Amino acid sequence: MPNIIQPKNIDSAALLLQAGGVVAIPTETVYGLAADISNEQAVRQIFALKQRPIDHPLIIHICDLNQLEQFAIKIPEYAFLLARSFWPGPLTLVLYKSQLVGDWVTGGQDTVGIRMPNHPLTLSLINRVGSPLAAPSANQFGKISPTHISHVAAEFGERVPVLDGGHCMVGIESTIVDATEEMFCTILRPGMISEQALKAVLGNHIEIKQPNNKSKQVSGTLKTHYAPQKPTYLFAGREELLGIKSRTAKSVYGLVLTEDCKQLCQQSSLMSTTSEDYAQKLYNALRTADNSDCDIIAIERPPRVQEWQGIMDRLERSSAATMYSAVSHVESDESVI
Ligand code: TXA
Ligand code: MG
């Protein structure tokens, strides 16, 4: 059995972290695998547990706006504006790091990802530890992020104690914005804070760009990420689902938006048509599908509008591995993908 730390025992989680341990912590987005940023050995354990390449930088989690200027330098005015508008909340700012942030956190980069998570337990925990916590999502590298203690336990078992903060309310990882430039910013990873929401705060003075090849490295933007074990397909509507079914004799677990499509699947989760609800349930539904008896997962595409951008991004990466193997092995069968 994993060691579940109840909220009333938050002090024992703080003591573990102060002693150089790794503890899984709740945030509003997903659970994180946390260590004190000032302890190099502790942070190295995160990489080992996750089997994450050592040059993939971690996000640091703070509990107080004053910490922003301690751990980042050369902060543009608009970055303060974003922090004041969206923190605590699902926004990560990439900024030049101060000397207080070791290379072991940033994978040798001169920038650091910073956010203030919107979860009362974790804000209180960071305050008790007295130092920011470095925390990537608490899953094996490239796999589905955890939104409940049971997911963390499935990833790490007894190896990592978990502070129980219930179900994550947002459900997908934070929006990451590179704010190192004075006059523009770049969305490195979309999330539930949409481009529109950023624009509403920034107005017309600061341009918001999409990433290009020169943009900073984000592992969550590798083409295959957030991936189930089973082949995973995206489809738009009943006809495409029928197309997938006609090409494979395999049983289908559907993440569907309509009763019509639900009828065509052996097993299914009927997903919400509002983006907030959908995001909150998505990773749990993907895990349920992956653990089911079905052979493949089929996901009905949500609408292509701004507020679904973060969700679409995760769905496309979840199904990317299937897309590549379909392209390389079944060239005549590209319509399935
Ligand atoms: O919602 C979240 O952001 C969650 C919770 C736990 O806070 N964390 C999370 O961490 O998703 P992780 O490590 O799974 O994803 C963080 C992403 C990585 O893709 C990493 O490459 C990128 O942030 N990142 C971190 N520091 C960066 C930096 N200095 N420059 C560019 N990208 C950075
Ligand atoms: Mg992750």
Say how far apart CA 292 and CA 306 lie, in whole Å: 31
Say how far apart CA 309 and CA 241 lie, in whole Å: 22
The pLDDT score that the predictor gives to residue 235 is 95
The pLDDT score that the predictor gives to residue 212 is 73
- The dihedral built from the CA positions of residue 120, 125, 126 and 128, taken in this order, carries a sign that is positive
- In degrees rounded to 5, what are phi and psi of residue 28? -70, -20
Q: How far, in Å, from the CA of 113 to the mean position of ligand 1? A: 7
Give the residues of the chain that fall short of pLDDT 70.
1, 213-224, 323-337
Residues in CB range of 317: below 8 A, 6 or more apart? 220, 222, 223, 224, 225, 226, 227
Q: Which residue, 135, 132, 121, is CA-closest to 165? A: 121
Q: How far, in Å, from the CA of 160 to the mean position of ligand 1? A: 20
The pLDDT score that the predictor gives to residue 222 is 61
For the Cβ of 186 lying below 6 angstroms from any atom of ligand 1, the answer is no
Please, which residues have CB less than 5 A from ligand 2, an ion? 137
Residue 59, beta-bridge partner list? 113
Contact (CB, 8 A) for 80 and 131: no
Q: How many CB atoms lie within 10 A of CB 99?
A: 7
Q: Ligand 1 pocket check: which of 59, 60, 112, 311 to mutate, most ligand atoms within 8 Å of Cβ?
A: 59
| Nearest bound ligand to the CA of residue 111 | 1
Q: In angstroms, how far is the first alpha carbon of the chain from the final one?
A: 40
For the Cβ of 72 lying below 6 angstroms from any atom of ligand 1, the answer is no
Q: How far, in Å, from the CA of 260 to the mean position of ligand 2? A: 33
Q: Ligand 1 pocket check: which of 49, 160, 217, 218 to mutate, most ligand atoms within 8 Å of Cβ?
A: 218
The pLDDT score that the predictor gives to residue 101 is 98
For the Cβ of 215 lying below 6 angstroms from any atom of ligand 1, the answer is no
For the Cβ of 59 lying below 6 angstroms from any atom of ligand 1, the answer is yes
For the Cβ of 190 lying below 6 angstroms from any atom of ligand 1, the answer is no
For the Cβ of 218 lying below 6 angstroms from any atom of ligand 1, the answer is yes
